[in-house]
Amino acid sequence: MSHYTLVIHGGAGTISKSNINAEQESAYCDALGKALEAGFSCLKNDGTALDAVRAAVVSLEDCILFNAGKGSVFGKDGRQEMDASIMDGKTLMAGAVAAVRNIRNPVELAYTIMTKSQHVMLNGSGAYEFAVQQGLAIEPDDYFFSQFRYDQWKEIQGTNNAALDHNVSVRDKKFGTVGAVALDKHGNIAAATSTGGMTNKQFGRIGDSPIIGAGTYANNKTCAISCTGHGEPFIRAVTAYDVSCLMEYKEFSLSEAMHVVVHDKLLKIDGEGGMIGVDTQGNAAMVFNSEGMYRGMMNAEGKKEILIYK
Ligand code: ASP
């Protein structure tokens, strides 16, 4: 019996029942459901884990509710810069893109860098030029604009604070970075993450999401992980790879390793956020130390969950 599984997240942060109304809650659940279907149908039809995480992340990037692709947060200069990465657990190949503008689907650019270039990571104008060469979809600034994110930015514009998109104290404080991890019918795993980063960030700031080992990691020997949260501590803790190391060198289970990293190691350095993970046995986990995390999973046994709060 194959245990193919897909897990997704739409960001972690100050997400609680008291700051989401019923209409917003159902919009988020619908969007998460759509992304799950997009990725899971790939797995069901014999597709690879890589294709499944791409499909799920593209669906979330295209949804204005999440802080990735369309609807990304605004940086200090009033513009959006996005980061994304993808990793194949079978080959340990990876692709990443940092601080890019106007790329419709940064995860597709990360995938194209992995499959069509000799590099792992491209940033800024070099990444843009490569995207154009490869015929990826480019959109004008307006495409990425959303009023609620603009209002979030306005609230802290002019300060030196950079905030997790959900933590800005405006009415709508519940939008997030996106990610997916999957196990396919062939026993291979993959992970992908995409984000607009943090509101009011310095332009050129790069978070954990595009850094292989920090925000994203996949290795058939251990696990596939996608993180969300305050990027700087996640980079310093080499978060995603640490989960893999605890499994490889200390023989922790996926869930044990994720709990130690999220509730102990990250908390000790004020690392607020969470992560999703899957292993080659089809074990899946969604762990966070913040108030909530948009998340969902589906597996071959017919289990389907879409959750927001603790
Ligand atoms: N980790 C992302 C970053 O720091 C933000 C997030 O997950 O919401 O760029």
Beta bridge partners of 291: none
All residues at 6 or more sequence positions from 182 whose CB lies less than 8 Å from its CB, including other chains? 4, 5, 6, 7, 39, 43, 49, 52, 53, 56, 189, 190, 224, 278
Whether the pLDDT of residue 174 is over 60: the answer is no
All residues at 6 or more sequence positions from 141 whose CB lies less than 8 Å from its CB, including other chains? 79, 80, 101, 102
Q: How far is the CA of 276 from the centre of ligand 1 (A)?
A: 14
Q: What is the H or E stretch that residue 240 is in? A: helix 239-250
- Closest residue (by CA) to atom 4 of ligand 1? 231
CA 49 distance to own-chain centroid: 15
pLDDT of residue 134: 98
Whether the pLDDT of residue 67 is over 90: the answer is yes
Q: Is the CB of 229 under 6 A from ligand 1?
A: yes
Whether the pLDDT of residue 13 is over 90: the answer is no
> DSSP characters for the chain?
----EEEEEEEEES--GGG--HHHHHHHHHHHHHHHHHHHHHHHTT--HHHHHHHHHHHHHTSTTSSSSTTPPP-TTS---EEEEEEETTT--EEEEEEE-SBS-HHHHHHHHHHHSS-SEEEHHHHHHHHHHTT--B--HHHH--HHHHHHHHHHTTSS--B-GGGSSSS------EEEEEE-TTS-EEEEEEE---BTPPTT---STTSBTTTEEE-TTSEEEEEEE-HHHHHHTTHHHHHHHHHHHH---HHHHHHHIIIIIHHHTT--EEEEEEETT--EEEEESSSEEEEEEEETTS-EEEEEE-
Q: How far is the CA of 176 from the centre of ligand 1 (A)?
A: 8
State mean pLDDT over 184-192: 98
Ligand 1 atom nearest 228 alpha carbon: 7
Find, among 67, 59, 28, the residue nearest to 41 by Cα: 59
- Closest residue (by CA) to atom 9 of ligand 1? 197
Whether the pLDDT of residue 173 is over 50: the answer is no
Which pLDDT tens digit goes with each residue over 207-238? Answer: 999 999 999 999 999 999 999 999 999 999 99
Residue 25's pLDDT band (cuts 50, 70, 90)? very high
Whether the pLDDT of residue 252 is over 90: the answer is yes
pLDDT of residue 179: 98
Which pLDDT tens digit goes with each residue over 149-161? Answer: 988 888 888 777 7
The encoded tokens of residue 116 equal: 């069509």
Q: How many residues does the chain have?
A: 310
Q: Is the CB of 231 under 6 A from ligand 1?
A: yes
Which pLDDT tens digit goes with each residue over 254-296? Answer: 999 999 999 999 999 999 999 999 999 999 999 999 999 999 9
Q: Which of 5, 14, 48, 177 is catalytic?
A: 177
pLDDT of residue 171: 39
Q: Is the CB of 176 under 6 A from ligand 1?
A: yes
- Closest residue (by CA) to atom 7 of ligand 1? 228
Q: How far is the CA of 229 from the centre of ligand 1 (A)?
A: 5
What residue type is assigned to position 211 of the chain?
I
Q: From CA 286, how far away is CA 176, in angstroms rounded?
A: 15
Whether the pLDDT of residue 170 is over 60: the answer is no
Q: How far is the CA of 165 from the centre of ligand 1 (A)?
A: 8
Best mutation site among 209, 216, 226 for ligand 1, i.e. most ligand atoms within 8 A of its Cβ?
Answer: 209
Q: Is the CB of 208 under 6 A from ligand 1?
A: yes
pLDDT of residue 175: 46
Is 199 annotated in the active site?
A: no
Question: Taking the domains of the chain in order of start, what are their residue ranges?
Answer: 5-309
The encoded tokens of residue 127 equal: 């990444």
User: For the chain, what is the mean pLDDT?
Assistant: 94
Q: How far is the CA of 44 from the centre of ligand 1 (A)?
A: 30
Give the percent of the chain with pLDDT over 70. Answer: 95
Ligand 1 atom nearest 165 alpha carbon: 8
| CA atoms within 13 A of residue 1's CA, in its CB half-sphere | 8
CATH code at 5-309? 3.60.20.30
Q: Is the CB of 146 under 6 A from ligand 1?
A: no
